[in-house]
Structure 1
Amino acid sequence: MKNISILGATGSVGKQTLQVIRNEKERFKLVAFSANKNYQGIIDIVKEFKPKYVAVVDKYICEKVRDYCKCENINIEILEGIQGLTTISILSEVDIVVTSIVGMIGLVPTLNAIRAGKDIALANKETLVTGGEIVMREAEKYNVRILPVDSEHSAVFQSLQGNDINSVDKIILTASGGPFRGKNIEDLVNITPEEAIKHPNWSMGKKISIDSSTLVNKGLEVIEARWLFGIDYNNIEVIIHPESVIHSMVGYKDGSIIAQLSSADMILPIQYALNYPNRQNSLISKLNFYEVGKLTFEKPNITNFRGLKLAYDAGIEGGIMPTIFNAANEEAVQLFLEKKIKYLDIIKIIEDSMNNFENRGNIDLEMILNYEKMVRRFIQDKYNF
């Protein structure tokens, strides 16, 4: 029996992690979870899974949860704010922490979990984008496993099993192309948030759906892959694969390419990460090649979707630049969701931020957190928000 703590249990990945736990009760127990503002989602989890702890980031919602649990005589420790995230990440009874919280907010609790010796099922790509060098160094120091939950990185991880990393020629990350694949710049001028979050293949949260539409998400995954697998950027390739059947591939020096294929469902990589190194009975619909019919591949259009190129630029430059890239994107996406900027302004803001700040090396956690604030302040001041 593995005891699980989920950071971000009411989001897309968090909900699907709960589904795995629900279907494998003999293997997993939810001990703790966090959420932000989804009051009903929190209450539903408390009633069904009866965890010992819940961390609620939003103060008002936290008080509502406390009132409910008191009225219903539910014995659960309710923690408030960001500190609560750290508390449920380092609990002595927890075996594995699922980091499915969105954004840079996941970096500090993930590091604390690693230093407490917890294995990490990583769905928060920003953690490695901004602090990859620090995170992987600490994971090695504390003998902690970083188990990828993103479908692409899980696919690479699975395709590497039984092989020497030194025999790898390249990693090939697949991308669906998002809802605007094939469109020209002119077609993207008046895109609305409602249009941008309609991903053709995957059910995801608003932020990651918009990142997918701009190909920024794939850029973040490139940086994440560099740290997860220790592969140089020159050996990480992105290919558009609209069917989303091949989730990623590993090319070896002898010319062999090993790929992981399955239905487009996040349940599988979550289940694999929680059960690793074992495999359990499928919780998703199995792939039917007669129904798939064909698999197609395209080169990404980095002229119209420059977010991917900017991510490569940030990653190759290294230092604090990936933090600048990520923070600018997070701020710009939020402004777009609030309809304060146009869709194409997201990439303009990222590039503007990368050009505004001089890169610095020898980064540490304090520098990362400071630059994250500086970038957000720069964007808010320049664009008068």
Structure 2
Amino acid sequence: MLLGSTGSIGTQAVDIVQRNPDRFRVAGLAAGGGRVDLLAKQAVELGSGLVAVADPAQAPALERALAEQGSRAAVLTGAEGVAELAGAECDVVLNGITGALGLESTLAALRAGRRLALANKESLIIGGPLVREAACPGQIVPVDSEHYALAQCFPRVPEGELASLAQGHLHARRDEVRRLVVTASGGPFRNRRRDELASVTPEDALNHPTWSMGPVITVNSATLVNKGLEVIEAHLLFDIPFDRIDVVVHPQSVVHSMVEYVDGSTIAKASPPSMAIPIAHGIGAPDRVPEAGPGLDFTRAQEWTFQPLDHEAFPAVRLAAEVGAAGGTAPAVYNAANEEAVDAFLKENLAFPAIMDTVSRVVSEHQRSERPPVGPPARLTLDDVYAADTWARVRARELLTGRS
């Protein structure tokens, strides 16, 4: 099953499937509804019998597009329909849905016993305890390039001895791991001071020097929020404490992350900046997919550089570690407030540094309040997560419009 098939991750996954027809078959597709013609075209080309659209208003248009192209695929609608598709019969579910909407589908896939290729980091971050409870060891295959890299840097152990949520490779002896090193490109504003960021525009923020992504994740890369979310994800996937997860700036985006061991050795995973490789591994694990992406040319002179992150200019990573350590609904508040602030920035209603100022204030108010739930309750529920998400969005909008 391919969720988010019309987005960047989804279209790359479709390309990999079409280049390997003897290896993969797509049983079902799901997308938000912004590109129903493409969704219908994918369903026809891939022969998928199930198609889901998250926006119910787009269902009639999708049904017409499918009929015009001769498809008899069944159409499911709404978040419930996408989750139903995620739990349907298949071997692997690739969750490439953007944002918090992916949580129900992540849980549905895990509870149905499917292997989950996880590109929707938000679902793990905001629903951490719920996802960890639902997942069996090794059931999640990370598709984020950094977490795919970390998984590759752990020693291989027999399937029955896996000790983490992430497929493939966390050694049971965590005391051998000194720290995880997550790399960041630094985004379009690398090396700028905080006072130099006040005048940047959405166009500036969307001009990423390395990656081609959607607008929200591109702005998150510019603020380093995306890297903060990845720190939380690394903690949840590999069960390494936050004080042993570092972020370093690596502009070339060739080394995708590293694991440092207590004997002083460091194992790094390197490849060109292409998402095709982790996507292919996500749907094909534990085996590799030949020619999934380009390799590195070590016969050509090149330079890889690393530098510390400027936490004053880019406070998102430290704040993410704080909310990750707080647990409970705090990560959901961080994520939701950020999505609202990024939307305001993209509409030119908010200055770039104020994105994190807004997130920080909403997180601080949440931590001081009794409602929505603060910290890990006895048993976090989906309703708790969605209530916190809603509260954070409302509060962020109030702050953004100047209301108390």
Q: Which TM-score tier does this pair reach, normalised by the shorter chain? A: over 0.9
Which is further off, 282-291 or 203-212? 282-291
User: Which deviates more from structure 2 when the two are superposed, residues 66-75 or residues 229-238?
Assistant: 66-75
Q: Give the percent of matched residue pairs that are identical in Structure 1 and Structure 2.
A: 35
Question: 1:361 aligns to what?
Answer: 376
Query: By how many angstroms is 1:292 displaced?
Result: 5.5
Please give the secondary structure, in 2, of the residue aligned with 1:344. helix
1:155 is aligned, of 137, 149, 165, to 149
- Contact kept? 2:179, 2:259, Cα under 8 Å: yes
Q: Deviations over 1:354-378 (max 9, x none)?
A: 1111323223221111100011111
Alignment equivalent of 1:100, drawn from 96, 101, 119: 96
Task: Tell me the equivalent position of 2:115.
Answer: 119
Q: Supply the AA of the counterpart residue of 1:291.
A: R
Which residue of the partner structure matches residue 10 of structure 2? 14
Which residue of structure 1 lines up, in the alignment, with residue 75 of structure 2? 78
Shifted more, 173-182 versus 70-79: the winner is 70-79
Q: Deviations over 1:277-331 (max 9, x none)?
A: 2123122221012435111000000100111111112112222211111111111
Hey, what's the Cα distance between the residues in 2 that align with 1:292 and 1:321?
45
| Matched ranges for 1:95-244 at <5 A | 95-140=91-136, 145-162=139-156, 163-166=171-174, 167-244=176-253
Contact 1:7–1:99 (8 Å) recurs in 2 = yes
Encode CA deviations 1:253-290: one digit per residue, 9 max, x unaligned.
11111110001100001111222121231222210124
Secondary structure of the residue that 1:26 maps to in structure 2? coil
Find 2:346's aligned residue among 337, 358, 368: 337
**How far 1:249 moved relative to its partner?**
0.5
Letter paired with 1:263 = P
- For residues 309 and 348 of structure 1, what CA distance do their matches in structure 2 show? 13
Q: Give the distance between the partners of 1:17 and 1:165, measured in 2 at CA.
A: 34
Q: Any idea what SS the aligned residue of 2:274 has?
A: coil
Query: What's the offset of the Cα at 1:213?
Result: 0.6
Say which is worse superposed, 33-42 or 96-105, in terms of deviation. Answer: 33-42
Give me the whole-angstrom Cα distance separating, in 2, the residues matched to 1:218 and 1:382. Answer: 24
SS at match of 2:258: strand
Q: Which residue of 1 aligns with 2:22?
A: 26
Q: Which runs of 5+ in 2 are unaligned?
A: 157-170
Q: Is the contact made by 1:170 and 1:235 (CA closer than 8 Å) also made in structure 2?
A: yes
Secondary structure class of the residue paired with 2:267: strand
Counterpart Cα distance in 1 of 2:194 and 2:398: 27
Residue pairs, 1:31-110, within 5 angstroms: 31-36=27-32, 37-92=34-89, 94-110=90-106
In 2, the alpha carbon distance for the partners of 1:196 and 1:291 equals: 31
Aligned to 1:370: 387
Which runs of structure 1 show a deviation greater than 3 angstroms over 4 or more consecutive aligned residues? Answer: none
| In 2: Cα distance, 1:105 partner to 1:371 partner | 14
1:379 matched residue in structure 2: 396
The 1-side partners of 2:14 and 2:69 are apart by 23
Look up the equivalent residue of 2:119 and give its one-letter code. Answer: A
User: Kindly tell me: are residues 193 and 15 of structure 1, through their superposed partners in 2, closer, same or farther at Cα, counting changes over 3 Å?
Assistant: same
Rounded Cα–Cα distance in structure 2 between residues aligned with 1:328 and 1:228: 23
Alpha-carbon offset, residue 57 of structure 1: 1.9
SS in 2 for 1:30: coil
Change (3 A) 1:70 1:280: closer
Contact in 2 for aligned 1:193/1:336 (Cα 8 Å): yes
CA drift at 1:128: 1.5
- Say whether the 8 Å CA contact 1:118–1:144 is kept in structure 2: no
The amino acid that maps onto 1:27 is: R
- 1:106-154 per-position Cα deviation (integer Å, ceiling 9, x unaligned): 11111011111111000011112111222122112xx661000000000
- Aligned residue type for 2:143: V
After TM superposition, the score normalised by the length of structure 2 is 0.90
TM-score, scaled relative to structure 1: 0.94
What is the Cα deviation at residue 165 of structure 1? 4.3
Which residue identity does 1:225 align to in structure 2? A
Say how many residue pairs are matched.
378
Give the letter for the 2:285 counterpart: Y
Q: 1:173: how far off?
A: 0.4
- Letter aligned with residue 42 of structure 2: I
Q: Is the Cα–Cα contact under 8 Å of residues 51 and 76 in structure 1 kept in the other structure?
A: yes
